Chains A and B, each alone.
Chain A
Amino acid sequence: MNPSMKAAPVKKPFFTPGAIILCVIVLLAAIYSVFRFLYGIGYITNLTNMYPWGIWKAVLVAATIPLAAGGFTTAALVHIFYGKKYHDIVRSALLVAMLGYTFAGAMVMYDMGRWYNIWRPIFWWNGNSALFEVAICVMSYLTVLVIEFLPIVIERFQKNVNLKGFLSTFKKPIEMLLNLLDRILSPTLSLFIILGVVISCLHQSSLGVVMVVAGQKVHPLWQSPVLPILFLISAISVGFPMVIIETIISTRIFGIEPKMHILSKLGQIAGLILGFYLACKITDMAIRGTYVYLTELNVFSIMYIIEILFGVVAPIYIFLRKKLVTSTSWIFTAAILTALGILLNRLNTFLVGYRPFYDVPVYYPSLGEVFVSLGFFALIFLLYRAFVMIFPVITQPVEN
């Protein structure tokens, strides 16, 4: 590793034109939110008794969780499999995972009729419920992510608590706290890292069980008893592509060269995992004979084919081509396709493939739902930007 390369806070102005547009979107979402909390969920959504879950659940919860899988896959790669050369990407992946999970949790709450009861699963257990397991795992994983992120906070502030005026009295206790945390975390962090990987595997797969209970209401192209396995493998497969996206975008924004030799390697691994995922999907399809539905031309078959061709087959092709995987734009395209493919898969499983047995109008998201969703994503971007400016997350050349 180049000794002058080090993770450090990024020194750039926060407000650029792009960031301002994101702020506007967040503001719009905030306006909709006022109505949501004053007049109820029904006021700004198209949800009905037939379609109780819309894009908030299908995209912002069910898809954000696998898209935040970069956190646990890189943690496993670097800390468990000792892929030391990938060390530079751990912090960024961790931050994205932490933000992603925080927002998935916040979105669950936003979508809940009685949001103030979100803590209930801690004490009211129903072990039969897949969603209960997801809830508990997301809560505990978020805790683990915060613990994993603490060393970065400690590194930033340990010898650098900068409080002025009347706040300076807190300087000593905060320093002591940081030192104490450092002493506890340094030797035990590995335990938490393994725990994070285990919890991730559990809830990424349980997320697949969530729709298994809906049984015949989910179209056979997506409904499968092996959904938990497919969800787990696809979450693992999208982990590195997400890291590739994060790295390329953030290095672009902050004007740093992306380390292509690391990204290409990650892309190749992702290609292999995606290949395995595709094989599982095809085997599942062959065993259950669901290919018969591909001969019917309808929204289900079209969405399924788009999902597989663009979200799985195309990225595999790019990732496994030596010529393409070393090109920044190609690898970026492949990573984006993978992420969109997983997003589409969750959307299909939770929403497109979901049909009640009665002849009722199909759900389409309302403007309110769309803007709130965009607002949530915009807020993640803005917070990521703020975090990399405050904490040493991005590896960059540092002047000594």
Chain B
Amino acid sequence: MKQSRRDFFKAAGLLGAGITGLKTKDAHAGSHNILSEDRVGVLVDTTVCIGCRKCEYACKTAHDLPTEPIETYDDRSVFKKMRRNDENALTVVNEYENPKNANSPIDVKVQCMHCDYPACVSACVVGALTKAENGSVIYDPSICMGCRYCMVVCPFQGLAYEYLSPLTPKVMKCDLCFDRTKEGKIPACVEICPMEALTYGKRSDLLKLAHKRIKENPEKYIDHVYGEFEVGGTSWLYLANKEFASLDLPDLNTDPVPKISETIQHGVFKYFIPPISLYALLGGIMWLNKKKDENEESQEGEIK
């Protein structure tokens, strides 16, 4: 089943291009998408993370979210159940069994992945979500309509919603600490991490670092940097010692998620040719039928 879901995109790309007569290179995510060479990201080394959840605490503090005191984060019973980032916690850590060493479980931090070709940015009706030049996917609540289409299309379920806010609900997601990085600081979670499991930097440098670690410790890691190619690349990158799918990082193909839909949309609206030709065609049919109808009526009149 997984294989076919992947194949879908291959077939889709071909069919999509066929329908619209467009090459897929025309597709790009988001109207404001600027993929800078210097865009930043964070490398998560899940083999180093100890699941102390300090990042959860730091994230809440940095984003003015209500939080319990830092000591309560030592409670490891939360790991019994898989948690996802939500409107009150933009990032959470989950724990998984380690096949190589049962005493040191694998801890995986999750949050918005900040895709290079974000489906949410492509989908947002009004452009409330944008991909900033530094790679962050940021959200402007003031123009948001709250349709939650972004959440429907996100492959990582990286966005959460304030369902219980009656008037001004917001989409809540990791913003890669956009305000902090603007001031030259590093993201709050990276700053607090005691194990240096998180590395913040230029995405290109992080990829080099990740591959270097894999090369130097081939027994420690599987040879796969999650996020390097998944859905066209993400700003958050992961290293692990077992298959990512078993760590709830879904098995995704390498095409940007919005590629097909954008190809179709752009094809249909290229210079408005398809709608205008349809209008002309229907107008033509109407005119012909009207003439025919008038002729028939006048003939009927002659017979009488």
List A residues at the B interface (Cβ < 8 Å).
Answer: 37-43, 45, 47-50, 52-53, 76, 79-82, 84, 108, 111-115, 117-118, 120-121, 124-133, 135, 190, 194-195, 197-198, 201-202, 205-206, 209-217, 220, 223-226, 228-229, 287-290, 292-293, 354, 356-360
Contact = CB atoms under 8 A, between A and B. Distances in A.
Q: Which 6 A-B pairs have the closest CB atoms?
A: A113-B146, A42-B163, A225-B12, A357-B250, A113-B169, A82-B289
B278 to A, nearest CB: 5
Nearest to A217: B155
Contact of B153 (A118, A132, A214, A358): A214
Interface string B222-263: 000000000000000000000000001010110001101110
Interface in B92-148: 119, 122-128, 143-148
B145 A39 contact: no
A113 B144 contact: yes
Contact of B279 (A76, A113, A124, A195): A195
B161 interface: yes
A348 to B, nearest CB: 15
B10 to A, nearest CB: 10
A49 B264 contact: no
Nearest to B160: A49
Residue of B4, B7, B82 most packed against chain A (CB within 10 A): B4
Contact of A358 (B164, B248, B290): B248
B292 A212 contact: no
B1 interface: yes
Contacts, number: 235
Residue of B8, B152, B275 most packed against chain A (CB within 10 A): B152
Contact of A37 (B13, B16, B125, B166): B166
A52 B84 CA distance: 14
Nearest to A48: B163
Contacts of A37: 166
Interface string B69-90: 0000000000000101111000
Contacts of A135: 125
Contacts of B268: 202, 205-206
A210 B15 CA distance: 17
A121 B282 contact: no
B212 to A, nearest CB: 30
Contact of B282 (A49, A133, A194): A194
Interface residues of B, number: 78
A135 B125 CA distance: 8
A108 B252 CA distance: 31
B165 interface: yes
Contact of A289 (B4, B85, B146, B148): B4
Given A126-B126, A128-B31, 6 more contacts: A81-B289, A113-B146, A206-B265, A209-B264, A213-B257, A358-B84
A236 to B, nearest CB: 13
11 contacts: A41-B163, A80-B285, A81-B285, A113-B146, A115-B145, A118-B145, A127-B269, A194-B279, A213-B123, A216-B250, A225-B16
Nearest to A292: B4
Contacts of B196: none
A124 B285 CA distance: 36
B291 to A, nearest CB: 10
B279 A212 contact: no
Given A124-B127, A128-B122, A293-B1, A198 B166 contact: no
A131 B146 CA distance: 13
Contacts of A356: 157
Contacts of B292: 82
A289 B260 CA distance: 19
A220 B125 contact: no
Nearest to A195: B279
B277 to A, nearest CB: 10
Interface in B7-23: 7-9, 11-13, 15-16, 19
B286 A80 contact: yes
A303 B258 CA distance: 27
Contact of B264 (A201, A212, A217, A359): A212
B286 A130 contact: no
A213 B124 contact: no
B21 to A, nearest CB: 14
Contact of A113 (B4, B84, B165, B265): B165
A49 B84 contact: yes
A80 B289 contact: yes
Contacts of A288: 4, 7-8, 11
A128 B8 CA distance: 21
B205 interface: no
Contact of B8 (A45, A47, A133, A223): A223
A38 B15 contact: no
Nearest to B122: A128
A198 B273 CA distance: 12
B265 A127 contact: yes
Contacts of B122: 126, 128-129, 213
Given A212-B264, A225-B19, A38 B84 contact: no
Contacts of B164: 39-40, 42-43
Contact of A226 (B15, B30, B161, B262): B15
A225 B15 contact: yes
